[in-house]
Structure 1
Amino acid sequence: MTTPEFSRPIDIRQADGKDMHIAADASERAALARRFGLVRIDRLEARVSLSRRDRTVDATGRLSADIVQSCAVSAEDLPVAVAEDFAFRFVPEASGHLPDEEIELDAEDCDEIEYAGTHCDIGEAVAQSLALAIDPFLTGPNADEARRKAGIVAPEDNSPFAVLKGLQPKE
């Protein structure tokens, strides 16, 4: 298994009541930008509070990042500020199911991240939270012009109602 680009392992035995600030350095940000298909990540940091119950660690906090991504239409670079609260739970790796076996998840299970041994990776969890915050269809102010130049009409211009509207007698 390879080490994640933004790895910040923490020993679960020392996690209870721990507050921490983590920040990605330039090489970590560049690697994450490649992984997520971004132009670049100028800043990625998070404040994290940890609490532990037996072998389960709850992590809550806030990530903030400054990223640059390409417009989905014009490909121009768009700066984006990301600020997201997060809450996830690190749980011991399940040994009761096979890798391809279907399992039922409850709503509270969806934020669970399995770990093996005695360490969980706060950095990778923050990186995954950033990935979920990225808008894959982000469009910039020049997107409409780029569509027009490419001859792409807006969906509402191609709707049956737009066609019917065009059939109305002109006054």
Structure 2
Amino acid sequence: MDALPLSRPFDTRRLGDSALSERIDATGEERAALAKAYDLLALDRLDAELTVAPWQRVGIKVSGRLIADLVQACVVTLEPVPQHLDHAFELAFLPPQDKAADPKTVAEAEVIVAFDEDDPPDPLTGPVIDLGAIVAEQLALGIDPYPRAPGADLAAEIGEASDPSASPFAALAGLRRDAKD
């Protein structure tokens, strides 16, 4: 994809010492492009309230709330499944040279994952941040990866019997028994 479906460049040099509020209301064309990009049946609403503020002397913090109404296909029946997102988020950005140089590996083999800590800041590679791309990313993170229509049952849909001998593993076990005989 050459152009971002939702783009709202924000020049951080406008900030000074105080925070600024921004609002994003996606147009019908932008919502259609995002629906296509994220394999949605429809994206009826996408708007966000954002606050962009200076952070840690040289960084930027973007906090906001995303609201979206979308429709996905059920992973079992392909029926339309509506979803309402109301998602608060916060991201921090620091220039790469100012990011902390804390170790990320143990004995250069394992990655340290600290679930109770905030995400590290993203790199701030210039004075412009694309708020639209941030909102599109947060939308993607909020979409249910496996939407199911009410009452959708995969076993019933594919006609699976509740008989355990019908399992492919039961067939393999039978082959193993035959090989021992």
**Same fold per superposition (TM over 0.5):** yes
Say whether 1:148 aligns with 2:148: no
Match of 1:4 in 2: 4
Pairing 1:79-98 to 2, within 5 Å after superposition: 79-93=82-96
Shift of residue 108, structure 1, vs aligned partner: 2.8
Equivalenced residues, count: 150
Partner of 1:109: 119
Quote the Cα distance in structure 1 between the aligned partners of 2:97 and 2:38.
28
Residue identity in the other structure for 1:130: L
TM-superposition CA deviations, 1:26-63 (whole Å, max 9, x none): 11111111111111111100001111134311011110
Taking only the aligned residue pairs, the percentage that are identical comes to: 34
Cα drift, residue 114 of structure 1: 2.8
Q: Which runs of structure 2 are paired with 1:19-168 in the superposition (5 Å)? A: 19-53=21-55, 54-93=57-96, 107-110=117-120, 112-144=121-153, 147-152=155-160
Q: Given the superposition, is the C-alpha separation of residues 40 and 153 from structure 1 closer, same or farther in structure 2, using an over 3 Å criterion?
A: farther
Q: Secondary structure at the match of 2:150?
A: coil
Query: How far has the Cα of 1:116 moved from its partner?
Result: 2.6
What code does the residue aligned with 2:139 have? L
> Distance in 2 between the 1:122 and 1:2 partners?
17
TM-score (normalised: structure 2): 0.71
Structure 1: gaps spanning 5 or more residues: 97-101, 159-171
CA RMSD in angstroms, aligned pairs only: 2.8
Residues 73 and 147, structure 1, Cα contact 8 Å, conserved in 2: no
CA contact 1:90–1:120 (8 Å) conserved in 2: no
Equivalent residue of 1:109, what SS? Answer: coil
TM-superposition CA deviations, 1:148-171 (whole Å, max 9, x none): 1421468xx86xxxxxxxxxxxxx
Shift of 1:90: 2.4
The question of whether the paired residues in 2 share the 8 Å contact of 1:45 and 1:65 is answered with yes
| Structure 2 unpaired stretches of 5+ | 100-104, 106-110, 165-181
Alpha-carbon separation, structure 1, partners of 2:9 and 2:66: 17
Counterpart secondary structure, 2:50: strand
In structure 1, distance between residues paired with 2:97 and 2:35: 31
> Aligned partners of 1:127 and 1:7: how far apart in 2?
9
Residues 4 and 149 from structure 1, CA distance in 2 versus in 1: closer, same or farther, beyond 3 angstroms? closer
